[in-house]
Amino acid sequence: MGVAAEQGRIGVLLINLGTPDAPEAGAVRRYLKEFLSDPRVVEIPQLIWQPILRGLVLTTRPAKSAHAYQQVWRPDGSPLAAFTRGQAAALADAFGPGVIVDHAMRYGSPAIADRVRALKDAGCDRILLAPLYPQYCAATTATANDAAFAALGALRWQPAVRTLPPYYDDPAYIAALRAGVEAGLAALDFAPQAIVASFHGMPQRTADLGDPYHRQCLETARLLGAALGRDLVTSFQSRFGRAKWLEPATDATLRGLPARGISRVAVIAPGFSVDCLETLEEVAMQGRDAFLAAGGEHFAYLPCLNDSPVGVDMLKKLLRRELEGWLAPL
């Protein structure tokens, strides 16, 4: 651990995907419009995609998604927003008084551009951008950095900038996942026959074009399985649209397990830094229903690292490493 060097303050900006401001159709529509208009997310020419988005998607999906958000919404907001705020708060004093830890969302609020400017106005002449995606994908890590770089492009006096690299195979990350899974398993009243590691899906085209996301997900699952001493069943969730996506799909995997004699299952989501709609509603609720309807008997969803002490300690290690040379030794 160190203290900030004398020449200025240091900013650490935790970045996550984003969330609607409220579990209501109007708020969800605004969020989806921003999210699905990002060419990093939907790689279809905008002249073709925008009429589809505005004429079909934004007229049908917001009400359904709002209902899903209502199932997981907390008194302090969406789980993704609440846990990300919790991570930033837990890291507030981790690196000394000259380091400001803040958070932003790629879509929605607090906006990346607003928080970059706030850090600069607070005297930060160095900023570490920390997209909280263990596995690199252009649709997540790259677009978060894009938004930050665009904000920096509007500044006459730019701070020096670093970005947190993907940490899908980092020993600290794998150890934290192992600790979280083992604690979750110990709290269950049954012994799972299988552990399913569900990662967010991406179109197969992204892998074909050279995106490393698929390979990095598989490597995370391999390393975590080795750490736990058991193989994991790897799958991909949250398919959208008609294009071919990464397989096997999580919903199909869960429906198929009982026919293979697996009636007790635990599901984890190691690609998500915090729990959100996709883990709490899609997996913990819809996935559970699909598994039990197919003949399963016991289902458990084990939470993400979130703002747990284990998860925060892991982030401290990763961020401190990236801040080396900016933090003066004690």
Known binding residues for Fe(2+) are 200, 278
Please state the residue numbers annotated as binding site.
200, 278
The order of strands in the sheet holding 233-237 is: 233-237, 194-200, 264-268, 298-301
The Cα–Cα gap between 26 and 61 comes to 11
Question: By three-state DSSP, how is residue 74 classified?
Answer: strand
CB neighbour list of residue 321: distance below 8 Å, 6 or more residues apart: none
Distance between CA atoms of 312 and 77, rounded to whole angstroms? 20
Kindly give the residue spans of alpha helices, DSSP state H, lying in the chain. 25-36, 46-52, 58-72, 79-90, 112-121, 143-153, 171-186, 204-208, 213-228, 250-256, 277, 288-293, 309-322
Q: What is the DSSP string of 119-144?
A: HHHTTEEEEEEEE--SS--IIIIIHH
Per-position DSSP letters for 218-232, written without gaps between them? HHHHHHHHHHHTS--
